[in-house]
Amino acid sequence: MSGKRGNGEGSIYPRGNGFAAYTWVTTPTGKRARKYVYGKTRAEVHDKWIKLHTAAKAGPVATSSPTLEQYLAYWITEVVERNLKPLTAATYETAVRLCIVPFIGAKRVDKLTVRDVREWLNKLADTCQCCAQGKDEARPQDRRRCCALGKCCHKTLSQRSVGDARTVLRSALTYAMTEEMIARNVAQLVKLPKPRSRKPVPWSVEEASRFLESARAARDPLYAAYVLILVLGLRKGEVLGLSWSDVTFDRHELHIRKQLQRVRRRLLHSETKTEASEAVLPLPDICEAALHLRQKSRDAHKLAARELWTESALVFTTRYGTPVEPRNFNRRFAFRCEQAGVRLIRVHDTRHTCGSLLAALDVHPRVAMQILRHTQIAVTMEVYTHVPSEETRKALRKLGTSLRVGASETSMIPQ
């Protein structure tokens, strides 16, 4: 170290059992301030000082850095919740609270290293979430069955969930880079094995037909919802968020505008998942007839509930007019699968049966193309290559005919 430093370059001096140095920098807010570095030897501090001086010439440098927990709290409140949809924001907040902060929340943002992230991911993958979150301990004394009794159930996160936690941290650190708090995103540098995607095995047309016949025969109050998710491929939230103003019988159309979701203990009637999800879909006869039956069902419930009825614009409600809980819809769907004697699949997986059902119902390919939201008719025709048996076609046509008769002559009072 020789030569005289220029004005404002800072200095190296003894401090305690080591040395310290500082450089004047421009902070991200535009102010001039001192930035300090420390070390046990003069040579060590000199190397740090050179790096700091180079960084100061390149652009703004933060003079203080929060812990990861502090920064993530700011990021969730000021960035995520203001720019992302409520359910996405809630998912990010959960990942931060349960998967990131308990492990590396005390680390300073600017001191986080690739090794820190790798060790965190390995530990996260090996940690029993029942133990970490105290799930079994939160149960009443007589209902505890595993971790609280010293019998760890080893409920670890899946490979995909660990990857999702890394994605959340990576997004937060990317934003920290845009705020010029850090120079690189260490979470981006850690590679994870790509999880194998689970290919759903949807119902065959025969299974879907048996499911609908069972729901119709049992006068299931959610029968029309089942028809819409199977024939039109609607998502659960889109079905439960439908309003009567979205149904245009005279034009045989259904408008998809909103979805119903439970987020942080609140039911939200919010925008659809994506802009492409908002659509105007044609109503095949079986869907229109099912919705007419739903109208009669609603009127019967309103009459029976009297003063307990809660007026709502939603198509699907409970017997008292309140919104249908998404989890209750899942439970009802599982119960109906059991009653119909068909395989239990996720509600979302019913979307994969949609194209085959449209073919079985003799819906014109051009109409099916609009329902499936394909941009090319060739893609639709490829779906239509799965031709159901003639017995299945007859069963579905018979079901559609009985629905139209039921809608015009009788009232379908749900059980």
Pull the structure tokens for residue 101: 């902060």
Contact, 126 vs 94, CB < 8 A? no
The CATH superfamily holding the domain 68-189 is: Tyrosine recombinase, N-terminal domain (1.10.150.130)
Q: What are phi and psi of 142, to 5 degrees?
A: -80, -5
- Residue-level pLDDT at 120: 96
- Residue-level pLDDT at 122: 95
**Where in the chain do CATH 1.10.150.130 domains reside?**
68-189
Contact, 261 vs 323, CB < 8 A? no
DSSP 49-101: HHHHHHHHHHS---S---BHHHHHHHHIIIIIHHHS-HHHHHHHHHHIIIIIH
- Residue-level pLDDT at 7: 47
Q: Which amino acid is at 332?
A: R
The CATH number that domain 205-409 falls under is: 1.10.443.10
Residues 6 or more apart whose CB falls under 8 angstroms from that of 347 comprise 229, 236, 329, 330, 333
- Residue-level pLDDT at 89: 93
258 exposure class (CB count in 10 Å sphere: 0-12, 13-18, 19+): buried
Tell me how far CA of residue 117 lies from CA of 91, 107, 113, 167, 182, in angstroms.
20, 11, 7, 12, 15
Contact, 212 vs 230, CB < 8 A? yes
- Residue-level pLDDT at 123: 95
- Residue-level pLDDT at 10: 53
- Residue-level pLDDT at 388: 53
pTM passes above 0.75: no
Of 294, 139, 308, nearest to 221 (Cα)?
294
* Positions of the chain with pLDDT under 50: 1-3, 6-9, 384-385, 402-415
Please give the helix or strand (H or E) that residue 279 lies within, else none: strand 279-282
**Where in the chain do CATH 1.10.443.10 domains reside?**
205-409
